[in-house]
Structures are given as C-alpha cells and as structure tokens.
A and B are shown apart, each in its own frame.
Chain A
C-alpha cells in the first residue's frame, strides 16, 4: 500500500502528518509488514529532522547527460538549436553543456553525426535508507544543490521502493508541496493521496488547487485539517459540499507547535495520537 501526503502549499503540516502517521502505525500490533516513510520532497527533505535511525545504505543517484568530445566534433552545427531546454550552447569554438538544465532527452546525442555527444552518468543526488526501528524504515532522497530537475530523482526513489519492499508493506510518502511536475511524479501509483490543509481562507485556497490537481490526475484523495480550531469552518463546508472525505482534524495546540519546533513527534500528546489513529483507520477503509 502506498499513501501519499501532499498539500497545495508548504508549511501546512504535510511533513508533520507523514512523520507522525508512519511512527504511529509502525507501533500498531495489527499492522503486519514493514512501514516505510519516504521523503520525496527532494528539494528540501525535512522528515529526517523528526526521525532518527541507523543508516543502512546510501546510494548516489545518476541521470544521463551528454558530454562533448572536442576531438570528434566537426563543428557541423547540427546540435545548435536542438536542445529545447538551453542545456547546450554551440558557440563556434566549442560546444558547452549545462548538465543542470539537461532533461536527458537524448536528442543532441543521437542526432550528432559524429558521436561527439555521448551520454554519460551525472550525479544528481543521494538516496539514504535508514532503519528507525524493527519495522519502521525511512527513505530520503536529496537533490544536490544546483540540480533543477526533481522528477528523475523521484522516479529513482519509486524504483528503489519497488526493489526493496513488497506490495503489502505500507509506504507513507511525504510529497513535495504545490501542484507542479514533482508532486505529480511523487503521487504517481499512490493508492490514496491525503491532502493536508489549515482551516483558513489561505488553506482553503491552497486545498482547492490541490483538489483540482488530484482530479486532473484521476487520483483517490481525502483531506486532513491541521491546526483545527483556528480560522473558520469553510474548509469543512467545502469538503462536505463537494463530497470529499474529511478523515481527520489535528487540533491546534501550542504544545504541538513547540514539539514541532524541537523536531519532536506530536503523538506524544494523547489528543493528537487519538486523531492520528482515526486518520489511519479511515485510510484503511478508503484505500
């Protein structure tokens, strides 16, 4: 089972829910199989600040980018203008490649008549695999600074999950925020997407964007309200009016904010633990 936790915007409690939910269900007796928390917010993975364990494995991840072999180049100019992403500059005396802009489409490489632009592996980031407890694992992928393509690393992370875990293991995915390509890649093949929002006009606005995205992708989704108690009931009404399952409300508590600030789990608070339990039961029912 794969559950993706997402939100229209950062800072709504997406990471909080992912980390607390994963930790909570790993401690349940009726959960067989492994629980794995996966941080796919590869540009700014933050889950690791809340959950510590032993590093089992770290893998450098690569993608393919062309390399210019000056000796082979006949300056035929065929590659000039081929790259739609400005990753290749033909400047008469040489050909420059900007790996961080390359989308690995292979066009320049395969269109070059002299084989002067072979594709080679280029580092884009690192995947780390931790053991937190007997049945809780943590996978974190981090994009190198300066690399602009998040999607290939997210793809690699999905592949890693496939190779390491079974269908029956529970994967909780902390997705990147927003509605753009990385989110779409991160929620791919999730059985259910849980959208986290706050009960304010900002939260409602961001939630609507997220809901539109899920509809466009034809994804099953449900909503969790974080910091319930502040703001107003418009988010709740929106969910009700649109037939969207609202599967939990994590209460606003100063203590919770303080625990969060220290990088600690909120399931230490009973009230919140009960709500996380309810969210989990609802997920099981829905997926």
Chain B
C-alpha cells in the first residue's frame, strides 16, 4: 500500500481540485484522506455520505468544581494566560484563553480543578459518490491544529486500505509549513507539490520543498496556472532542477477550475481538453514513481 500526499504551502493553488481529480481517476483503487482539517473542502466535490462520525478530543482544558473551591486564588495567581476570571465572586475558567497547561491543578489546595479533554473537532468516514472511501474531519473553532487530527485521518485511511487490499491512499495535505503539514507527510511514500508562478507561490514552495527534503521523502511537482507568469515558471523549473524534483505537469491558468467547483465536480469530470489529459498523464506518472 502506497500513500501519496498532495501539498502546496500557500492556499489557492488548486491543490484540492487536483487531489480530488486523482481521487476520481484512482476510483476503487484509492482511499481518499482529507488532511486539510482546518478548512476541508474535498467533501464538496466528492459528496460523501458522512456515514460514520466520531467526536475528536485533543489537549486539555481546566474546569473548577465550585463545591470544592475555597476561593484561595492560587489558580489565578499562577495562570500565565489570564484564563481564571472572577465572575459573581467565583473563580471560573475562561475556556477560550485556557492553554491547558495544568499548572492551576497542581497548586490547588483542595484539588478542585480537573483537567478535561478538550473537544477539538469531528472525524468522519464516508463513502463518496464515486464509490471509494473518504476519511475526513472538521476542526472545531479555536482548536489547536496540532497535527493530531491529521494523524488520526491518515491512520484510519491506512487501516481501511490495508483491510480491503486497496493499493493507494491519496491525501489532500494541510496548508502551510507548520505542524499539520509535517503530520500530513511524515512516513508517506510520495509528496506531490502543487504550486503557481507567483512571487508568493515560489517563496512558499521553496520552504515546503526544504521541509520535505528534511524528511527524506520523494517529491514531484505540478505547476498550476503556468502561463500566468512565464518568468516565474522558468524560475520554478530551475529550482526544481537544482533540487532534483521531477516536474510532472504544467497546467494553464483557466477559469474551468472555478467552473468545475461551482458545478460540484472535479476538473477531470468537467473538462474534456488539455487539462483533463494533463492530469490523467500526471496520475499515471505518479503511479509509476511511487
């Protein structure tokens, strides 16, 4: 079983459109994982049935059991995050501010403070309209995107692939270069970097490529909107050459991407021309390389 993760560094490069296309092209041979848990969009194209749902907890948050509190104020003294306001003469926890460090619970003389698991999202396993399985999640508001939910999505996708003898996992990776993206790529077999020829696109993709090479994972690149700025596209090609990252496709700047999203379809189902054939070609190359 091989795991392919698509990432982009910055948003708006067409990463999700391309990943969803691979999900369609792979059909029953892939399990799909949406690791972009902060703002998951894959479900809008693959129309999953949300058949299985589970609450997801991560980190801790403090709670004061009022009956046991003797109002000594020690918790408020030690809290570095302004998370213990006094309301109506009672010490209470402001959950939005509480960092979950647990210091207050160490110093409370009456053990009135418990550290609860903090609810940080929902986790789903679905059948998609194309008949394959999608593992996805939704991070709760103000939750800390630590990579744990991403890990859970990947672990579950792996399990499903192994149990059903499905050869590939295709994952929509997290954006950025922080913890969540690290959690999306570690231990995967191939990373597909989708970038665009803009100053910020080039800047972000070089940071992402650096990160991937640190983990020693094989990567390939797709330049989307390649005709938007020829000079930067050439710059990206040179960069890839230097880093020995194969460039597997260049796609044109085309409003068909937005049209497909609006129609609730993937670009390969919506377009019959060069975009479709290019993405099909790159999927083949990916399967050869992985």
Contact = CB atoms under 8 A, between A and B. Distances in A.
A and B touch in the complex (CB under 8 A): yes
B18 to A, nearest CB: 13
A231 B258 CA distance: 6
Contacts of B12: 10-13
A107 B176 contact: no
Interface stretch (B37-45, B152-160, B237-245, B279-287): B37-45
B76 interface: no
Interface string A135-166: 00000000001001010000000000000000
Contacts of B39: 8-9, 177-179, 205-206, 209
Main secondary structure of the interface of B (DSSP, over half): loop
B142 A184 contact: yes
Interface stretch (B122-130, B184-192, B198-206): B198-206
B133 interface: no
Interface string A42-58: 01101001100000000
Nearest to A9: B39
B261 A104 contact: no
A150 B176 CA distance: 13
Interface in A19-61: 43-44, 46, 49-50
A211 to B, nearest CB: 10
Contacts of A9: 11, 38-39, 41, 175
Interface residues of A, number: 54
A93 B262 CA distance: 60
Main secondary structure of the interface of A (DSSP, over half): loop
A257 B137 CA distance: 32
Given A44-B177, A179-B38, A85 B142 contact: no
Interface stretch (B49-57, B84-92, B97-105): B97-105
A104 B228 CA distance: 45
B11 A105 contact: no
B13 A11 contact: yes
B210 to A, nearest CB: 9
A95 B114 CA distance: 27
A261 B13 contact: no
Q: How large is the interface on B (under 10, 10 to 19, 20 to 34, 35 or more residues)?
A: 35 or more
A270 interface: no
A10 B10 contact: yes
Contact of A258 (B99, B229, B262): B229
A216 B253 contact: no
Contacts of A177: 11, 38-39, 175
Contacts of A179: 38-39, 139, 141-142
Contacts of B179: 148
A268 to B, nearest CB: 16
B80 interface: yes
A213 B141 contact: yes
A148 B178 contact: yes
Interface string A183-227: 010000000000000101110011001001100110000000001
B106 A232 contact: no
B246 interface: no
Contacts of A49: 199-200, 203
A103 B225 CA distance: 40
Sorted from nearest, which 5 A-B pairs have the closest CB atoms? A11-B12, A11-B11, A10-B11, A105-B101, A261-B229
29 contacts: A9-B38, A9-B39, A9-B175, A10-B176, A44-B176, A44-B207, A46-B10, A84-B100, A103-B101, A107-B101, A145-B177, A150-B178, A177-B11, A177-B39, A179-B141, A180-B143, A198-B258, A201-B262, A205-B44, A212-B141, A227-B258, A230-B262, A231-B259, A232-B262, A254-B253, A258-B229, A261-B196, A261-B197, A261-B232
